[in-house]
């Protein structure tokens, strides 16, 4: 996997030859950049042609894209691979550009509108870089978010998903990870299946109906969950039967040294996040079920969607 690059990426993701003969690498496309318009991406690719951009001001003048589009590219770190400009450096350079160049003072392709002394900007921490990757792309090629939290998780006796997957049948343990999928098929008699992921792999959780009701808010609102449960192994199939769940979203938010929630994207298979809105149309809800739209509390009681 290769990052987005203003000199290498097209609109869609593409294949590029790798160092190993007969192998290819995936170059992320400009369409991955959140809020970047298709026509701005087309301008950038068409103006580039076979001649790579040498600087950010040159790219701006040749491609004719707006400063807003350049901001989106800078936030996605698209200027680092080819132009060696980190996020903050690129954003600082863009501040010196104007959407309407002054015709009487056109200083050439590599000129900026403001003549300033070089400024040394404080680099972002590795954790903040990953947070920004998720914010602008929905993924990161640098490191897995949970890897930054491993020392603290280890001090709490929480093992990796990989270790949980090779543990003996019947062992009780704790593991944690980002929530990828929450499913509650109608044929499962109230059982919820959750897939979590850390830097080592994934773990499949089985949450019985009584446990789900006890930890309902935690299950439906957590971006990162800790599970205390028992390993159930049947051949190569390994599940973790959950007895206790804890929401670690607050710990996850500390990666960027800020209080905002970690910008974790949710796939279409996550019924806990993308389920239909509104009350259950099939009947009256039990008294304990208070309908709060933002929490999707009742979405899992609607018509089931079974994913294979």
Contacting residues for 80 by C-beta, under 8 A, at least 6 apart: 3, 86, 87, 90
- Helices vs. strands in the chain: H and E counts, helices first: 12, 7
Distance CA 235, CA 248 (A): 31
Contact 173/224 with Cβ under 8 angstroms? no
Q: Give the pLDDT confidence score for residue 296 in this predicted structure.
A: 39
pTM for the full predicted model: 0.73
Please say whether the structural domain 145-301 has been given the CATH code 2.40.50.140: yes
Domain ranges of the chain: 14-123, 145-301
> What DSSP string runs through 107-167?
--TT--SS------PPPPPHHHHHHHHHHHTS--SS--GGGGGHHHHHHTTPBPHHHHHTS
Contact 127/255 with Cβ under 8 angstroms? yes
**Which tokens sit at 156?**
């709490």
Q: Give the pLDDT confidence score for residue 73 in this predicted structure.
A: 97
* Below-70 pLDDT ranges, the chain: 99-116, 257-308
Question: How many whole angstroms from its chain centre is CA 60?
Answer: 28
> pLDDT tens, 208-220?
999 999 999 999 9
Q: Give the pLDDT confidence score for residue 261 in this predicted structure.
A: 57
């Amino acid at each position: 996997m290769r990052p987005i690059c203003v000199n290498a990426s097209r609109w869609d993701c593409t294949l590029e030859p790798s160092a190993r003969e007969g192998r290819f690498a995936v170059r992320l496309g400009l369409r991955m950049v959140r809020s970047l318009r298709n026509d701005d991406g087309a301008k950038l690719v068409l103006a580039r042609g076979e001649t790579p951009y040498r600087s950010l001001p040159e790219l701006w003048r040749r491609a004719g894209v707006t400063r807003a589009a350049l901001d989106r590219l800078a936030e996605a770190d698209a200027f680092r691979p080819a132009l060696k400009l980190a996020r903050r450096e690129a954003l600082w350079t863009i501040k010196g550009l104007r959407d309407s160049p002054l015709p009487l003072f056109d200083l050439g392709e590599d000129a900026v509108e403001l003549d300033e002394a070089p400024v040394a900007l404080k680099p972002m921490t590795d954790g903040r870089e990953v947070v920004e990757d998720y914010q602008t792309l929905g993924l990161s090629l640098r490191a897995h978010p949970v890897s930054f939290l491993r020392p603290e998780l280890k001090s709490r006796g929480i093992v990796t998903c990989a270790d949980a997957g090779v543990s003996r049948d019947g062992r009780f343990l704790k593991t944690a990870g980002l929530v990828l999928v929450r499913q509650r098929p109608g044929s499962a008699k109230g059982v919820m299946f959750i897939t979590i992921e850390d830097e080592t792999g994934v773990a499949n959780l089985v949450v019985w109906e009584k446990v789900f009701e006890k930890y309902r808010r935690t299950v439906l609102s957590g971006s990162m969950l800790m599970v205390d449960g028992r390993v159930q192994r049947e051949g190569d199939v390994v599940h973790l039967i959950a007895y206790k769940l804890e929401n670690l979203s607050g710990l996850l938010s500390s990666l960027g040294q800020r209080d905002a929630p970690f910008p974790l994207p949710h796939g279409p298979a996550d019924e806990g996040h993308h389920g239909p809105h509104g009350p259950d149309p099939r009947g009256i809800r039990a008294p304990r079920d208070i309908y709060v739209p933002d929490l999707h509390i009742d979405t899992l009681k609607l018509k089931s969607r079974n994913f294979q």
